Amino acid sequence: MAGRQAVKAYLDLVSQACRAMLIFLKHNKIPHTVENIAIRKGQHKTPAFTKLNPMQKLPVLEDNGFVLTESDAILKYLATAYNVPDHWYPKLPEKRARVDEYTAWNHTNTHINTSSIFLHEVLLPCMGQPTNPENFEKVLADLDGTLDKLENMFLKNQPFLCGDDISLADLLAVCELIPTCLSSHGLEMDILKDRPKLLSWRNRVQSALSDSFDEAHSVVYQIREKFTAKLSPC
Amino acid sequence: MAGRQAVKVYLDLLSQPCRALLIFLKHNKIPHTVELIALRKGQQKTPEFTKLNPMQKVPTKLDICGFKNCNYCYYDAILKYLATTYNVPDHWYPKLPEKRARVDEYTAWHHVNTRMHASTVFLQEVIFPMMGQPTNPAKFEKALADLNGTLDMLENMFLKRQPFLCADEISLADLLAVCELMQPLCSGRDILKDRPKLLSWRNRVQSALSDSFDEAHSVVYQIREKFTAKL
């Protein structure tokens, strides 16, 4: 890796995928610089950023001229190119397939459902838009279904989602499942609060990631504090 | 691979990812047996199938030599696993990290773009009327607009400077995409007809896949005949 420059990460830490990427870079001590792109200020739609990523989405990785989007692809590329411990993205095909399975499922399950909760509980009220209780009931039911599957199909009786060791799957999932905010009733909303198995799993993952986890989540903790102080998070 | 049994796949050929899987197996001559599941008859919800795949989704692959646990593999995980384990030509899922990352990039994007939008158009135009459900013109217009946006991205970004989505040669990305973009054809709707760049791409992909493509898509052609005969 002589002469190789640090990778550049374009991030907004409000985004779960961006947090996952930052944690991975820090935890594995991959040399990197961070360029903060504020979605709420429309910085992902500037001509310069659009030239970098016409999809206008985050995160984006730039590695010595190689530009890559989509958090799954970025994490898998980093795991391969930077020679991190095998458990993150195992080389053995059967073990790797389990991680690929989770990352594929994450898109249309964990991610969509947790994003809907955030939308209803934080973004819509923030924008002064009314929330729809019926819609919200459905969103909660969908999320419940996702959490059932996480427990019973992925986690089962193993300590991590894809086996005995932490992998990219746990990293992506945990960033979706931290307690983000207070509900509109002023109660702390931890969607895992009645699920001891998933709570234990989350603690295990947080322990494995230690400081890099808290650093990446500082923005989310700040939003939560503003809610606690009953100030607008916007 | 001596002593290794054929893989067994559970498929419904009306499902786009199932067709992709079947084409991949046939094209690469990977020994396999197929068990057909009819999603519309609810066969994926039977106790036997649920035991195999608690997610009640197809395709599901059971490698009776390799996997110890029940399989609930998601379709792109299955294709990537097969490409790795069965030593297919490198272009399907290249080993070089930068090239592989391009395929991973597309397959990630695919879930909530190509697949989501092409499926929605198909569901609203073909499946809902078949099930006697009312159609919603406003929703359908939106579905078409979303799909158009996806097609713009495919043309202007993935196919910008190269003959296939991720490189100069066909890969898993093209296979997944083409099966999704064939689905609206069930109603006779060719979503690529005014897009010469994508039409050329589709022709290239079909040529590369030859017989296995048409075999897998026979059910789509049959539905199209029935659908257009009714009009």
Closest CA to B104 of A77, A42, A124: A77
A77, A112, A149 member nearest B101 (Cβ): A77
Q: Is A75 domain-assigned?
A: yes
User: Which site among A1, A21, A72, A149 would you substitute to test the B interface, given the most B Cβ atoms closer than 10 Å to its Cβ?
Assistant: A72
Residues of B in contact with A103 (CB under 8 A): 108
Q: Is A186 domain-assigned?
A: yes
Closest CA to A95 of A164, A144, A156: A164
Given this model, what pLDDT does residue B114 score?
A: 93
- Residue for token pair 């059932």: A148
State the average pLDDT for chain B.
Answer: 84
Residues A34 and A118 in one domain: no
Q: How far is A229 from chain B (nearest CA, A)?
A: 36
Segments forming the whole domain that contains residue A40:
7-84
Closest CA to A33 of A1, A2, A10, A60: A10
Give, as one character, the DSSP assignment of residue B55.
T
Given this model, what pLDDT does residue A116 score?
A: 76
Q: Is A163 domain-assigned?
A: yes
Q: Inspect the interface and report whether the beta carbons of A100 and B77 lie closer than 8 Å.
A: yes
Residues A70 and A92 in one domain: no
Residues of A in contact with B153 (CB under 8 A): 54-55
Residues A123 and A73 in one domain: no
Q: Is A215 domain-assigned?
A: yes
Say if residues B223 and B13 touch (Cβ distance below 8 Å).
no
Q: Is A25 domain-assigned?
A: yes
Given this model, what pLDDT does residue A183 score?
A: 52
State the pTM of this model: 0.89
Closest CA to A15 of A74, A66, A62, A64: A74
B55, B85, B104 member nearest A73 (Cβ): B104
Q: Inspect the interface and report whether the beta carbons of A73 and B153 lie closer than 8 Å.
A: no
Instruction: With H, G, I as helix, E, B as strand and everything else as coil, classify residue A165.
Output: coil
Q: How far is CA A73 from CA A110, A136, A168, B133, in A?
A: 17, 32, 11, 38
Burial class (CB within 10 angstroms; exposed 0-12, middle 13-18, buried 19+) of A83 = exposed
Residues A25 and A65 in one domain: yes
Given this model, what pLDDT does residue A27 score?
A: 96
Say if residues A177 and A154 touch (Cβ distance below 8 Å).
no
pLDDT over 70 percentage in chain B: 83
Lowest mean pLDDT among A116-120, A132-136, B69-73, B79-83: B69-73
Q: Is A1 domain-assigned?
A: no
Given this model, what pLDDT does residue B51 score?
A: 61
Residues of A in contact with B77 (CB under 8 A): 97-98, 100-101, 104
Say if residues B17 and B59 touch (Cβ distance below 8 Å).
yes
| Final residue belonging to a domain, choices A64, A84, A104 | A84
Say if residue B60's pLDDT is above 60: no
| Final residue belonging to a domain, choices A84, A109, A130 | A84
Q: Inspect the interface and report whether the beta carbons of A104 and B75 lie closer than 8 Å.
A: yes
Q: What is the CATH number of the domain that holds A13?
A: 3.40.30.10
The residue of chain B nearest to residue A149, with distances taken between CA atoms, is B55
Residues of A in contact with B72 (CB under 8 A): 101, 153
Given this model, what pLDDT does residue B71 score?
A: 43
Residues A96 and A184 in one domain: yes
Q: How many domains does chain A have?
A: 2
Residues A203 and A153 in one domain: yes
Q: What is the CATH number of the domain that holds A225?
A: 1.20.1050.10
Q: How far apart are CA B211 and CA B215, in angstroms?
A: 6
Tell me the per-residue pLDDT of A127-181, one tens digit each, with 9 for 90 and over. Answer: 677 777 777 788 888 888 889 989 988 898 899 999 999 999 999 999 988 865 5
Pairing of strands A66-69, A7-11: unpaired
**B100 HSE (CA, 13 A, CB side):** 18
When pLDDT is cut at 50, 70 and 90, the band that residue B66 belongs to is very low
Residues A54 and A102 in one domain: no
B66, B112, B116 member nearest A94 (Cβ): B66
Residues A114 and A156 in one domain: yes
Residues A100 and A72 in one domain: no
Q: How far is A164 from chain B (nearest CA, A)?
A: 15
Residue segments in chain A with a per-residue pLDDT below the cut of 50: 1-2, 182, 186, 231-232
Given this model, what pLDDT does residue B153 score?
A: 95
Q: Inspect the interface and report whether the beta carbons of A101 and B77 lie closer than 8 Å.
A: yes
Residues A98 and A162 in one domain: yes
Counting one residue from chain A and one from chain B, the pairs whose CB atoms sit within 8 A come to 81
User: Which site among B64, B81, B114 would you substitute to test the A interface, given the most A Cβ atoms closer than 10 Å to its Cβ?
Assistant: B81
Q: Output helix, strand, coil percentages for chain A, rounded to the nearest 5.
A: 60, 10, 30
More confident residue, B204 or A231: B204
Q: Is A34 domain-assigned?
A: yes
Tell me the per-residue pLDDT of B129-188, one tens digit each, with 9 for 90 and over. Answer: 888 888 888 989 999 999 999 999 999 999 998 999 999 999 999 999 999 999 888 888
User: Which site among A52, A66, A103 would you substitute to test the B interface, given the most B Cβ atoms closer than 10 Å to its Cβ?
Assistant: A103
Q: How far apart are CA B78 and CA B83, in angstroms?
A: 9
Q: Is A2 domain-assigned?
A: no
Residues A113 and A220 in one domain: yes
Q: How far is CA B3 from CA A94, B64, B154, in A?
A: 18, 12, 42
Say if residue B1's pLDDT is above 60: no
Residues A63 and A98 in one domain: no
| Final residue belonging to a domain, choices A38, A56, A84 | A84
Q: How far apart are CA B198 and CA A144, in angstroms?
A: 40
Say if residue B97's pLDDT is above 80: yes
| ipTM score over 0.85, yes or no | yes
Instruction: With H, G, I as helix, E, B as strand and everything else as coil, classify residue B33.
Output: strand
